Structure formats: C-alpha cells, structure tokens
Structure 1
Amino acid sequence: MDINDNIESPLELSVSFNILLRHYEALAKSDDEFVAAKAKRILDTARAYPELEKGFSDFSMLKEREKEIAIILEDSFSPVLTNNEIKTASVPFHNLIFNSSERFKSIIKTAGDDFEIQIKNMPKDDTYIIACTIILNFCYGYNLNFKRPFYYEIPDANGILRYYKILYNADFCEIVPTKKAKKITKEDYDELLDNFENIELWKKKFPPNSYIFKGFVISNIFDVTDDQSISNIKSNLIGEDKRNDESFMEEFHEVFRSLLGINDIKVGFSIYNEEEQTFERVYGVGMDSYLINNKESTDCKGALCGWSYDRLLNENKYFSVSDVEKTYKLSKGCAPHIKALHEQGIKSAIFAPIANEKGLMGILEIVSNKPQVLNSINANKLIDVMPFIVSAVERSKSEEENLIEAIIQKECTSIHPSVHWRFEKEAKNYIKSEMNGEQAIFKKVAFENVYPLYGQIDIKRSSEARNLATQQDLTLQLKAIKKIFKNALEIEGLPIYEQFIYQTGNYLKAIENNFQVDSEQQISEFFKQDIEPILKHLYSVDELKGQIDAYFESIDDKVNMLYRHRKEYDDTIALINKEMAALLDTKQVEAQLMYPHYFERYKTDGVEHNMYVGESITKEDSFNLIYLYNLRLWQLQVMCEMENSYYQMQSKFPVSLDVASMILVFNQPLTISFRMDEKQFDVDGTYNARYEIVKKRVDKAYIKGTTERVTQKGKISIVYSQKQDEREYLRYIRFLQSKHYLDTDIEIVELQDLQAVTGLKAIRVSVLYHKNEDDKAFYTYDDLMKEIKA
C-alpha cells in the first residue's frame, strides 16, 4: 500500500533520510572519535538499504526497516529524553507516524484503543493549496507565511481533553519538481495572491503529483492545555447570543474541565443586581446557578454568610469550599451558601467574583460532586481566565441594556422600518459631532411631498354602549344594597335603614330615567362613603353575613365597583381592536411589498391607520403616482375585508356592537415631521394642519341639512373635497363591485361645514358580506343580521 493512495496533492510523498545522512557524512570526518564512529555506524546501516536514502512510499517498508530507521533517528530521538519529550517523525499532510518518543506512545496508549490521532484545525479543503504555498517557498523563494498553530486533542486517563501544540522541523526534507511541474512566473504568483480559494486555479498552476517531497518532518509536541483552555474560554465568550446556544454551556464545562484537570465539574453563574441587592439567575439554555439553587432570585445577605458576603461583595475575592459536608456539619447548616450546596449534593466548590473597577457584576460558580477536588490551590488557575469572563459579562450587560432599549423602542416608541434609515442617518451624524467635540444636536426628521392616506373602522355608539353597561352594573349594585337594607329593616327596625332604602330607590329612578356622565361618580361616592361602613357594621348580624359576602364578592377589586356589564363591554372593545389590528398588520406586510411607505395604526374605540407615501420616504428615485393609486385601492379593499372579518367574528364577542368604516382622501402632498416630545409624526405647516383637523372631526360630521352622521353601519364612507377624487374612487368602487366586495347603492352626499373646513363631500356605499370564509353568498348588512339571528 502506498502512502500517496487516496490523497490528491501537488506533492508526491516519499520517505527519505537523504539530507540527514548527509549530515552524518560530515560528522564521520569529525576529529571526535566517538562522534565519527557513531556517524559511520549510522551510514553503514543506511548503505545496506539504499531505499532509505533514495526514498520510498510503500507502507510495508516502514515496518521492514523499523530497526534501521530507529538507528538513523537515534540522535533525533534521544533515549535519555524519550520519557520526557513528546516527539514524532512523520510526513506532512498525513497522520502517518513512523517513529516517536516513549512519552508520545504513552499518551496515545492512555487515550484508548479506539482513539484515532488527527491534527485539529488542519483545513482539509485547503491542504492542496497549503502544499502549493510550501512549494512556492521551497522552490521559488517566495516568503508566503501561512503558518498556523496545529494541535492534537488527546484525552487523558480521566477522559479530560488535553491540548498538544505541534511544532514542525522541516530541516530534513526537500521538494523536487517533476516533468509535470509548470514554471511559476511573477505574473502567476501575483494572480495566485488574490485567489487563495480558487482551487481550480491552483491545480492549473500546480498539477497533482507535479513535485516530489523527499524526506520527513520531526514534530516537537508540547502540552499547552492551560494556554489552550484559556484561549478556548476567550473564544467561547466571543460572539453573540450565547444564551440560546444549546452547545455553549457544555463546551464551557469541557473547557473548565481541561483547565482544572478535573472531569467531574459543572459551571454556573448568578448575576448581581446592585439596586435590589439580590443575586439573580442567568436565563439561557443550560445556564444554572448553584449559589441560589436555581431560584429566580435571592437576597445577597440571605444567600451568603457574613464572611463570604464580605469576601465576594466588598473584597471582590474568590473563595473555595473544599469539603461541603465537613463545612456543613461545622456550621450546623446555618451558612446559607453551604446549605444550598449540601441540598444539591455538591461536595466541593469555588465561588469567584466577576467584578470590574465599578464593583461586582456576578458570581462564577464551579462545583463538583467529589470532595476536595476543588480547593484554594487550583482556584488560583482562575486568575488567568477571569479577565476574559469579566469582559464578556461587561459586553453582555451592555448588549442586554441595548436589547432592553430596543424592546422599549419597538413596543413603546416604534420607528417604522420605512423611515428608520433617516433616524439612523441622524443618529450617526449626532455621534460624529460628539466624537469631534462639537455640540451634538439631533436634527429634525421631516419628509416633504408625501401623500397621506387615512382610514378607520370605528365602533358605532360606543359611548352609548358603555353608558348602558355602566347603568346596568349600577342598577344591579343598587338593587343588591336595597335588598340588604330591607332585610336589615326586618331584623332591626331602625329609621336609618329606611332612609338608605329610599336613597337607593331614588338613584335607581335617576339612572333609569336620566343617566348622566356624573351619575357614576355620585353613586360611587355613595357606596364608598355611606354604604360600606354600614355594611361592615351589619356583618355582625348572622342572618345578613351570607348576603353581604355575596355583595362584596361581586365587587371588582380594581375599580371598587360592580364590574360585570362594563367588563363585557371593555373586553369586547379590546377583542375588536386586537382582531382588527392583527388583520390590518397582516395585510400591511403585503402592501409594503407593493411599494414601501410609512404606516402606523392605533387603537381607540376601533382601529385607525395613517399611511404616507412619497419619494422622500423611499429614498429611491422610483416614486410614481401609480403607487399612490394602488395603495388607495388596496386600502379600500382591506377596509371591506375588515368589515367582513368583524361581522364573521361578532358572535364571539361578549357584547354585540356595530362598526362603521371611513376613508379620508387628501389629494395634495404635504410635509410630515417627527415630534420628539410626542414620539410620533405630525403634519407641518398651517395649510397641512387642515388635514389633521378633518381627520379628528370628520367621523362625527353630519350630512348637510340632516342630523344623520356620515358614517353608518354596513357602509363605507369615503370623504373627499375634489371632483377628481370622486371620479377616482368611483372607478375603484365599480371594480370592487365586480369582485362582490361592494353593493350597487352608491350615494354622494355633502357634509355640513366643520370648523375652518368647508366643501367636504362623501361617497357612501354598502359592503357585501359573507356569513363565514367558506360562504359564497353575498349579503347586505340587513340580510346578514337576519341570517345570523335566524
């Protein structure tokens, strides 16, 4: 079997001791008789087998000439140092080792029979190219430095991974071109410099087996477990989102096992919350805390004894507990951290403070299920790794603060993605000014010449519905009070009870005949100031206890009133807003793909939305009015779909309410700017303010000469002021009629003048409904209500 089998390389490997033997030829002429005699002995051994000098690639030859090879390499592998040095003789890019020191053999034997030695971080895909760079160095004198540290990872007797660094001695090898080799010019070299990953180019310049490698390399190997463990800790801590990486903690445990030379250890963390004076667990996959026993958090002084508290929090120094059981008995279970370790079956532990110049940030916890394996001596090894852990925690805290800010921004002061680029630009300018020592000002963010679109799906008569719910709740509460006092009067005939019966009766008549906004406040005060003290007094009467208990159980703790019908109303409003907003958000994703634009929606008694589209928002020279028209049609269609969706789910809501939809058309572009104090966009300029006035008041507007509101259940109202808007929307309506979104009952009405706004008109058209998503029939609002109630 040939050592070149199954290897594609520009180098054809040949084991040869030619160069080493030349050294011995020189030594054979030495004046030192001993040195000369030894050199002649080695030369005589080699000359008996010319292939040792000429070179060979047959595996079997290594076995056949094992004794002779050992003699030739005797000086390179000193018998005196063989149990100390870790050394091998081999050929490059191959796991073939044909001579080694006793120390190396012992390490491999300890690793186990099934262990297969392999060089780590040797890039398999790049070995061909690396071989080419070696040829460039050897044969053409180009100094290409591609040296990378190579390692063996070999487990010891305890199964702990140890790291061995390999240093190559290439003094005894040569590279010889064959007839296949192509002459490499300066132009070739320049081309290769910029094409490291172009394997085909390298193969073209250096065809397979176009050079012969003759010789061998000596590998001097060093145990660098401590250094590599520290490096691995640093590498593990670099990077983002480690908390969600399932393998991170297992790798982290493995690294600490190598560093401390202990197989049975685990690593935990707890975070120090300075404000609350608590230790808190770190959330993430595999993240544990042995100090607080995986509770959410615990008081620092309650988690530590006085000495350990002072050691970690004030001195910021580590300490160890080498024998938990012994310490537990000595402390009689009174030391909180010892008790926590004892309860978890931990036998020894090290607690190390993660602290910087500002103070403690957290605790690194290393624990073992064996006593004394963790102690104050091996705890000193942490000195070299703690700076990296401190840096990682500092970065993690900073990232968490940024994440918290990002969540607050997203949930509370959201900046829409369509305009985020502009805020980012101004933020960069702000930072640049600060870095240059200038006065940093966050400039006004404004977008000129954008077209607005506004729409709302509003709950009809929401105030009346809430008043009715309030009236019903107050009626129930007053009747309950009246009944209690009637029973109290029968038990104890006090005139004061008659007075309360009379007063509750008056309140009942008042809210039934003339419920006012302030009625709720008056009756609430009556319950609180007058009724509750009397009920507490009456609770001593056994016959009334059950009735009074039932009364107080019906009172909601938050509002301190009976909250049954109002809760149903509030829950209905919340559900409507949630469902309608979710539908609108889903549809918006599609709209953004059509053409990017600013979008915001907010919940009131229903859901309103604003959209702005224009060149200044998209940042690209691509805006055309066709995109505005497309969004207008999209908006009208989505409003129809929202109406349909609402009435299909109306039966699920606690209270049956109606909705009405409206679109406001504004055909002139305007300027919007971000109000920093209000954290939202608003229009700029006096003329543009007209748009905002109309937006706020138009849904309450009446049709001219009537007391009928422009918005009606079952209809979509499109409010506008220009004839061209009327023509445009009539085209959209006809199109949606063909799609059975809208009915044929189009009406055009004039609106009564609003403050400072005149000349508004509206197109009203009925929506066609389906009973459910699978229903193919089309219903008007009245038809739908009949079908639902049937």
Structure 2
Amino acid sequence: MNTNVIQIHKNECVNAQVESYLSFRPLVEYLKQRLKTEKSVKSEFYRFLLEKIQKDEVLLSSISAKELVKYKDTLELIFTILTPLMDNEDDFFWALSTPVPNEIFFSTNAFYKFFKDHDPKNKVSKDTDPVEKKQLKFVYNIILDRFYNFTSVLKNEIIYGHINEETKLTQYYNIQTNTKFVDIKYKNSLPELNFEELGQAFQNDSELEYLFDRIPLSNFVFEGFSIISITDVTLQHSIDGIRDALVNHNYQTEAYDHVIQALKSLSGNGSLEFGLMPFLTVNNKLVFDHKEFTQSKLINSAKASDLEEEVFYSLVDKYKENPRAIFVTAINEDQILKDPFLRVLKEAGVCSYSVLPVYYNTQLAGVLEVYSEQEIVIDDKLLSRLRPAMPLIGQLFQYNIEDFDAKMDEVLMDKFTALQPSVQWKFNEAVWRFLQKNNGKNKISEIETVTFKHMYPLFGAIDIRNSTIERNKALKDDLTVLLNSLTQALKEIKKIVSLEITDKILFNCKDWTKRIGNLSSSNEENQLNEFLTVEVYPFLSIIKANYPKTAEIVDEYFQVIVPETGAAFANRRQLEISMQMINTEVSQFLEKSQTNLQASYPCYFAKFRTDGVEYDIYIGQAISPEKPFDLLYLKNIRLWQLTSMVEIARLSKGLIGEMPRPLETTQLIFIHSNAIDISFRNDERRFDVEGAYNIRYEVVKKRIDKVLVKGTSERLTQPHKVAMVYFNPDEAKEYLEYVKYMQVQGYFNDDLEQLELDELQGVSGLKAMRVGIKYIENKKETAKKLKPKELESIEKEIASMMQN
C-alpha cells in the first residue's frame, strides 16, 4: 500500500469550490451504526477499527493529507474493511482522497503506479469543461442527491483512455468516486427548488448558473473522505464503440474503420488485424468487387495477385455450404497445398489467418477475418473477448446488404424503368388499394391503372446528323479493309500452297471488293458474311492446320477481324465511340437539369436512347396534388427546353475535336399546347397517352424527325439550329417570345425562319420555326475530354456490341 500524497490536479490551479475538511468522523459514525445491527464475527473487526480511530483523536477532526503518512496501519485496516478480501492490492485500482477529490493520500500499489505512468492529458471525455466547472458539477451532484433526493443524469465518473506501450492499443478505464463517507452540513435553512425549472436548466446546459444563484456553496461544509476506484472497461467500451458505429455513422468505410479499431482494442493484441467481408449478392450470386461495402484482406490480396474471380467465387460458395471457423496459425507450403487461396495471403505478407462466420437472425451474413504478420494462436480467451461483438457485426453486415440492395434498386429504377419519384406516390397508393382489396381473398382482382389527367406534354429530340449514312460509310470502309486484307492473305498463301480453290476464293474476294461501293441492303451484307463464314474461314483453318508455313499469314488475317481490336472494325468502333460520347454528354446534361426542374415543380421526365437522345416531359396539377400548379411552371419549363437545346448543341460541338469520327447533332422541339391524359401501361411498363386526340400527339412526335421543308428536299432538322414544330400559329406565339428574348441574351442568331412542312402519313398542316444557334466565339472553346477510365469503359461497351 502507498501513503504518498498524489496531487490530482498538480499542473492546474484550482480554486476551492466549497469548504471541506479531511476527516474520518463519518466512518466512525458508520461503524457505530453497524455495531448496533451486526451480529457476525465482523462486529469484532469493526469494534477494533473503531477503537483504533478513536484512540487517534486527530483522525476525528480536520487533518491534512500529508499527516496521514503516520497512520498507515489504520489506513490499511480501513482498506481491509472497505474492499473484498479476494482482491489483490497489486492488481486492484483503489484509493482514498479528500472529500472533493483533489489529493489522494492512500492508494494501492496498482493505483499509484497507474497514476504515475499515465498522463492525465490522455483522458478520453466527451466534455471539455475546465477542472473547476467539473468540480462544481461534482459538488452540486452530491448536494442534490443528499438534500433534494434529485438524482442527476451526471455521474461521478470519468472515462480515461491511454495507449498501451506494449500492444500500442487504446485501453479504457472507468474512474468512479464514492462519497458514502462524506458528510455535508448546511449552515442556514435549505432553500426550496423548482424541479421543473431545474430540469429545463439541465436540458439547456445551464444548470450550474441556475444552482449557483439558488444554492450558494458558501453555506455548505463537506467533511470526510472519498473513495476512488478504477475499473478496466476496455471490453465494454469497445462493444459500445461498435454499437456507436452502427448508430452514428454510415455503414461503409467510416463505420468499418471504427469497428476494426474497436475489435483491435477488444482483442488486446496489437499484432492482430481484422477484415470485414459481408456476403453481397446479385441475382443470388456473390459479388465482392465493391469498395464501399468491404474491407477484406483476402479480397484485396486476391485482386493484387490477379486471382481469377471464378476461383474466388467458387471458394466462397464452397465455404457457404459448410460455414465454420477456420484457424491457420502459420501459413506454410503444406497449408497452401490444402487451401491454395492461402498463397495470395502469404504473398501479401500474412503469416496467420483465421475466419469466423458471422450470422444475422441465424442466416450467414458474412465472415470476420483475423490475421497477422506474425504467428498467432487463436485461443478460447481471444474468442470469448470477440464473442460479444459478433451479433453487432452481423447487424452491420445486414445493414450493408440492405444498403447495397437499395442502391441496386435505386439505379435499376432510375436507369431501366419508367417509374420516377415524382409519380411513385400514386403507384404506392394503387399498390396499397390492391393489397386492401385482395386481403384474404382467393380471387385476385386486377390492379388499377395509374392515370394522370390534364398533363401538359413537352417533347424534344437531339439526333445525330446523318447517323444512318455514317453507319453505312463506316461499314463499307471496314469491309474494304477486311477484303483487302483477305486478298493479300490469299495471295501470300498461294505462293506457298498451290490449290485451285485458292484462285476461286480470290476471284470472289475481288468481286465483292467491287460490289462494296454499291452495298445498299442488309441482304447483301448477309450474303458477304455467308461467303466469309461458309467458304473463307473453313478454308483458312484447314490450310493453317495442314501447312504450318501459312500459320502466321492466317493468324495475321484473323487478328484483323477481331471486333475489339481488329482493323476491319476500326471505323465502326470509332463511329460508335463518337456516338457514345455525344449521347453520354447529352444524357448527363439532362440528368443534371432534371434535378433543377423537379425542384421548381414535380414533373415526369423520361429520356430515351435512339441514335441520339429523345425525352418526354409531362407537368400538371395531377402529378403533385398538394402543390398548387400554375401555368408559370409550364412557361418556365418551356423556356428551359429552348435554352437546354442551345447548351446541348454547344456541348456536342465542343466534343468534335475529341471524336474519332466527327459528328454533328440536330435539335428538335414539338410544341403542343393542349393538355393530355397519360396512363401507365402495366404490360409494357411505360406511360402512354390516352384517347384518340392524344394519340395523334404521339403519331406526330414519332414522324417529325425526318420531315422536309415544303416544296424542297431539305430536312427541317439541321446542325447548328433549333427547329420547333407546331400545328396552330397560336401555339407558336409563346415560343416566338422566348426566341426573341434569347436572341437578345446571345443564345440565337438573328435568322429566325417561318416554314411550312410537307405532309406526313396521316398528318398534314404542320408548320415550323427554325433559328440558328449562336456559339461563343470570343471564348476559346475547349473540347470536353473524357477521363481515360470513361473512354476505356465506352470502348469495352463498343467491343461487346461488336462481338454480339
């Protein structure tokens, strides 16, 4: 035991908050009361201590902490009475202090060493209050409890953390103060308190100001001593840390970092590392290549070693059939022969590796990895420390799985279905009514048709100019390369192998080369493919197999016709890349614009990929019944429609310098002023118009892209212009005002045309306005450069399209 005086706040100047005296009189009073009721052998021990304290009268009055060094034997008796006999003082953190803890005058060796070894600055506490404020809280806490029977939410405890020098892990301790042997005297009459006001003060964090005004501390005297005990709460704190990560953080990287750090503290072994691997699935097949949802050593090591995904998936599928704990103390060649996946871990520097299955509601949710660069034996002691965390990790994995599935559904709904948040509310109502009608019924009724009445439609189309012509030209150019390469190969083969069939195929090649320039139908293209597939390729394969000297010639030709990389597909690849660049840029622009449009007033916005991009917009009161609709919102969206067409034209023009094959776009708007009704077609999973008159709107919309200016062979849609089609001149007035405004604002040239259009099948009386787009000449146009990864992604998609 230690009688050295420890100054708790040795580096801080702390003023006395309340009058207090160090004394053992409260203990004496306690022992006298116990002797009246205690009938066991303990009574003799209590009597002995009582007599000993009373013999030293100085202990019954105010005494300084430094004087108590003379009474070590009495203090040891007090320690024996106040602590369990089973506790070893070398392992037990326990001490006696002044009534308001400031000086510690008696402590166990363990406590004294703890206090000397640890810097108080390492204390982990949520509050940053100064010492004097904390002491005030401590004092008032006791007063409220003793005199007002008011238990504060504030506890006389401190959570203290420090880095263990050996393990390099944070350990946590709970420092508690027991004031059982502190008597409090009040000099005057005790003031009354309004507990409702006091409770409000605690909520506002102004309780000290409130109490200081009503209960002056100058009227109180503290006498006695306090007991301070320290408990290692690292395990509980680590578990709380994991729980806190679930509640207060997102369920990806941030939560994982907190959980892994908590697991390290929980293990008590600084050499251990942890990996988290939830089992995410797509179409009931496991997927792991998602950085947001996993921090697995095995996955990262497998990627670094270029382990084939099929091998990895097979390994995990096999594990799922028989989930169990796996312990590998030392990864050696014998272990690798049994489990080849261990090789990638060894290459990553892992020496020992273990896997623990993690469950959520009895379902396997993933695995917890425990690994180290040293040989580590996973024993029952470590497993027992980790066991309380396993249900929480299971819950974390379930959150990961649900969040991943939600993201999949969100993208699926956004990219592949017509259902949008602006209209989903009505589908929810329809589903609810469907469930109500069919609750408990054997006969299932049909779900109602979701309809929005009196909606104002807007249609726009951004088309790639002469896309069909460009496709045919690219095809002809590629076929020319293919046939020239084939002709050259056949000539080289002829020098090595003398076969008459070679001349026959060579003749056909030259004939097809002449016909390529006039290739006008898909039937002729099919005939050429049949010639290559049936005659040429079998011939080349046989020649290569029987005449090894021709192998290099044949292989070079087959490299030419590889869709992903071959020269015979280069022009088509370039064209598709150029078209993808335009469509991607236009789609991204419309996606961003849609957010702003929805913020002004909810609308249904659907875009469609053709050779370019088309979009439908429907806006009206029915789509948002709780928000009053005004034609102002319709005018706003119509003005946006014009300005967006200009912005899109400028964007596509800016891409020309980056395109492998330069392409231009045309911009078209169909003006329709009358409201229409739209319904969701359950069989086709899309919205469509209702009624004969409304269907006419759809017919016109689908045919105007190729309409000609009346009496000419000129297409209405032209690059660098915005065309607006309408029936009634009154419909065009509003747009005409917008055009004039935009000409002043520098969007359009002063070249507005009023045009009549040729009749279309079933459609007559169409008119149009057309105006030139003003490009920003005084500002250096910089083409939008795609990032390498974006370009690589487009090229892969194109290659896949070519292959299919």
TM-score between the two structures when normalised by the length of structure 2: 0.78
CA RMSD of aligned residues (A): 4.8
1:454 aligns with 2:444: no
Q: CA deviation at 1:518?
A: 2.1
**Using a 3 Å threshold, how does the CA distance of structure 1 residues 594 and 11 change in structure 2: closer, same or farther?**
farther
Which residue of structure 2 aligns with residue 534 of structure 1? 539
SS at match of 2:697: helix
Q: Which moved more, 1:233-242 or 1:490-499?
A: 490-499
**Using a 3 Å threshold, how does the CA distance of structure 1 residues 418 and 149 change in structure 2: closer, same or farther?**
farther
1:363 aligns with 2:367: yes
- The answer as to whether partners of 2:93 and 2:231 remain within 8 angstroms in 1 is yes
Equivalent runs, 1:183-198 vs 2, <5 Å? 183-185=192-194, 189-194=195-200, 196-198=202-204
Q: Which moved more, 1:733-742 or 1:161-170?
A: 161-170
Take 1:726 and 1:757, find their aligned partners in 2: how far apart are those partners?
18
Q: CA deviation at 1:695?
A: 1.3
Which residue of structure 1 aligns with residue 65 of structure 2? 62
Which residue of structure 2 aligns with residue 402 of structure 1? 406
**Using a 3 Å threshold, how does the CA distance of structure 1 residues 92 and 475 change in structure 2: closer, same or farther?**
farther
Which residue of structure 1 aligns with residue 106 of structure 2? 99
Which residue of structure 2 aligns with residue 42 of structure 1? 53
Which residue of structure 1 aligns with residue 30 of structure 2? 23
1:137 aligns with 2:145: yes
Task: Select which of 218, 224, 227 maps to 1:218.
Answer: 227
- The answer as to whether partners of 1:451 and 1:669 remain within 8 angstroms in 2 is yes
**Using a 3 Å threshold, how does the CA distance of structure 1 residues 2 and 459 change in structure 2: closer, same or farther?**
closer
Take 1:75 and 1:629, find their aligned partners in 2: how far apart are those partners?
87
Which residue of structure 1 aligns with residue 798 of structure 2? none
Q: Deviations over 1:504-556 (max 9, x none)?
A: 44434444346223221111111111222233455567897665444333213
- The answer as to whether partners of 2:238 and 2:263 remain within 8 angstroms in 1 is no
1:75 aligns with 2:78: yes
State the one-letter code of the partner of 2:633.
Y
State the one-letter code of the partner of 1:748.
Q
Which residue of structure 2 aligns with residue 686 of structure 1? 692
SS at match of 2:647: helix
**Using a 3 Å threshold, how does the CA distance of structure 1 residues 313 and 762 change in structure 2: closer, same or farther?**
closer
1:601 aligns with 2:607: yes
**Using a 3 Å threshold, how does the CA distance of structure 1 residues 16 and 281 change in structure 2: closer, same or farther?**
farther
1:170 aligns with 2:179: yes
1:289 aligns with 2:297: yes
Q: CA deviation at 1:93?
A: 8.1
Equivalent runs, 1:221-620 vs 2, <5 Å? 221-236=230-245, 240-245=250-255, 247-248=257-258, 250-258=260-268, 262-270=269-277, 283=291, 287-289=295-297, 293-295=301-303, 299=311, 316-318=323-325, 320-321=327-328, 324=330, 328=332, 334=338, 336=340, 350-355=354-359, 360-371=364-375, 373-375=377-379, 378-413=382-417, 415-420=419-424, 422=426, 444-485=449-490, 496-513=501-518, 515-539=520-544, 548-557=554-563, 562-620=568-626
State the one-letter code of the partner of 2:414.
K
Take 1:620 and 1:357, find their aligned partners in 2: how far apart are those partners?
41
Equivalent runs, 1:603-682 vs 2, <5 Å? 603-682=609-688
Q: Which moved more, 1:449-458 or 1:197-206?
A: 197-206
1:714 aligns with 2:725: no
State the one-letter code of the partner of 1:137.
D
Which residue of structure 2 aligns with residue 787 of structure 1? none
SS at match of 1:611: strand
Q: Which stretches in structure 1 are left out of the alignment for 5+ residues?
A: 53-60, 777-790
State the one-letter code of the partner of 1:374.
I
- The answer as to whether partners of 1:480 and 1:551 remain within 8 angstroms in 2 is yes
State the one-letter code of the partner of 1:668.
N
**Using a 3 Å threshold, how does the CA distance of structure 1 residues 383 and 281 change in structure 2: closer, same or farther?**
farther
Q: CA deviation at 1:574?
A: 1.5
Take 2:491 and 2:293, find their aligned partners in 1: how far apart are those partners?
63
Q: Deviations over 1:423-443 (max 9, x none)?
A: 566677789999999989976
Take 1:775 and 1:381, find their aligned partners in 2: how far apart are those partners?
64
**Using a 3 Å threshold, how does the CA distance of structure 1 residues 394 and 656 change in structure 2: closer, same or farther?**
closer
Task: Select which of 199, 210, 234 maps to 2:205.
Answer: 199
Take 2:553 and 2:687, find their aligned partners in 1: how far apart are those partners?
55
TM-score between the two structures when normalised by the length of structure 1: 0.79
State the one-letter code of the partner of 1:407.
V
Whose helix fraction is larger, Structure 1's or Structure 2's? 2
- The answer as to whether partners of 1:178 and 1:210 remain within 8 angstroms in 2 is no
State the one-letter code of the partner of 1:525.
E
Equivalent runs, 1:737-748 vs 2, <5 Å? 737-748=743-754
Q: Which moved more, 1:652-661 or 1:174-183?
A: 174-183
Take 1:410 and 1:656, find their aligned partners in 2: how far apart are those partners?
30
Q: CA deviation at 1:663?
A: 0.8
Q: CA deviation at 1:697?
A: 1.0
1:51 aligns with 2:62: yes
Query: Alignment length, in residue pairs?
Result: 752
Say which structure, 1 or 2, has more relative contact order (CA 8 Å, 6+ apart).
2
Q: Deviations over 1:205-261 (max 9, x none)?
A: 443982336144324444455555555455455553243457425513423323xxx
Q: CA deviation at 1:579?
A: 2.6
Take 2:325 and 2:289, find their aligned partners in 1: how far apart are those partners?
19
- The answer as to whether partners of 1:600 and 1:610 remain within 8 angstroms in 2 is yes
State the one-letter code of the partner of 1:42.
I
State the one-letter code of the partner of 1:453.
L
State the one-letter code of the partner of 1:563.
F
**Using a 3 Å threshold, how does the CA distance of structure 1 residues 2 and 473 change in structure 2: closer, same or farther?**
closer
Take 1:291 and 1:467, find their aligned partners in 2: how far apart are those partners?
46
Take 2:32 and 2:513, find their aligned partners in 1: how far apart are those partners?
124
Q: Deviations over 1:452-481 (max 9, x none)?
A: 221122123221221222222223333444
Take 2:590 and 2:661, find their aligned partners in 1: how far apart are those partners?
22
1:725 aligns with 2:747: no
**Using a 3 Å threshold, how does the CA distance of structure 1 residues 6 and 203 change in structure 2: closer, same or farther?**
farther
Take 1:373 and 1:168, find their aligned partners in 2: how far apart are those partners?
39
- The answer as to whether partners of 2:263 and 2:386 remain within 8 angstroms in 1 is no
- The answer as to whether partners of 1:352 and 1:363 remain within 8 angstroms in 2 is yes
SS at match of 1:51: coil
Q: CA deviation at 1:668?
A: 1.4
Q: CA deviation at 1:382?
A: 4.3
- The answer as to whether partners of 1:12 and 1:210 remain within 8 angstroms in 2 is no
SS at match of 1:763: strand
**Using a 3 Å threshold, how does the CA distance of structure 1 residues 51 and 742 change in structure 2: closer, same or farther?**
same
State the one-letter code of the partner of 2:522.
V
